[in-house]
Amino acid sequence: MHPRTFRFAVVAAQAPTAQAWQGLARRAEGLGYDTLLAPDTMTTLEPFTALAAAATATERLRVGTFVLPAPFYTPSEIAWRALALDLLSGGRFDLGLGAGRPGAEDEVVHRERRFGTPAERVKQLSDAIHIVKEELAAAAASRSPLKPVQKPHPPILVAAAGPKMFQLAAAEADILTLGLSPATTEDGLAAKIAELRAVAGSRFDDLELSHNLAGVGTELPGYLSQQMGMDPAELIRTGAPSILTGTPQEMADTLRRRRDDLGISYIAVNGMFMEKLAPVVEELAGN
């Protein structure tokens, strides 16, 4: 299969003002990024509100949740919000869903929801995907003026790292983002892709694979270690693929190799490194 075209996303959801937030979105668009992704945490902007504001300030930039924890919402609520954002963005919305990241159980209490066992949460995610697809397909076929622009529904991104989630993503997702620890080695990344390939079978080539960069370059801010829970300098020393280093050309060559060897073509980067990665985006976007 011919390699997929590169796409690049910025992951961000904090800003001091509305003007700064919309300026960030416009800057990402101007630098050639394809998507602005917003996480769903209690310390960041509420993603649907933030992404709607970003979409109105841009023309080409896609927006997406990265990712909504299914245990935090009812499926119909997800479908309702997704329909609104797909419509208001003019069909530039990707619906990112997950079963709940590590530590999310501390937040679910504030949302008056139960954070179940891993198996229960995978089931919740599966149910949510099916109901969202059904409700958006029904809206598309109805006489209501509220219809998804992207039919029958926006692209669905699933964050996955283990066999059960790989099975679900392979069956239901358009995009799979690898929910791996930043400490994962290059060999570990390759092993996970091999595991996914075995689970997905013939569906593997239908999945757009995404990998998240926690940092770019060797001059990394000290506070990054608090966000990651580990020393970035150690990740650089071990060559962890979560940190991209080298000249812009070397970085581009690294991403080309990972795409050719592993199939990873959709690269997401922490918003604080948006400018640093921009020369690589210019080199690779659309190729």
Tokens 């060999």, residue located: 187
**pLDDT digits 0-9 by tens, 120-136:** 999 999 999 999 999 99
Average pLDDT, the chain: 92
Q: Is the pLDDT of residue 105 over 80?
A: no
Report DSSP state, residue 45: -
CA–chain centroid gap for 33, Å, is 13
Instruction: Output the pLDDT for position 109.
Output: 58
**pLDDT digits 0-9 by tens, 123-181:** 999 999 999 999 999 999 998 899 999 999 999 999 999 999 999 999 999 999 999 98
Instruction: Output the pLDDT for position 169.
Output: 97
β pairing state of 264-270 and 156-160? unpaired
DSSP bridge partners of 35:
9, 62
Confidence of residue 84 (pLDDT cuts 50, 70, 90): very high
Residue ranges of alpha helices (H) inside the chain are: 18-30, 47-56, 75-88, 105-108, 118-141, 163-172, 186-200, 224-228, 232-238, 248-262, 274-284
CA distance linking residue 226 with residue 215, whole number of Å? 13
CA distance linking residue 164 with residue 168, whole number of Å? 6
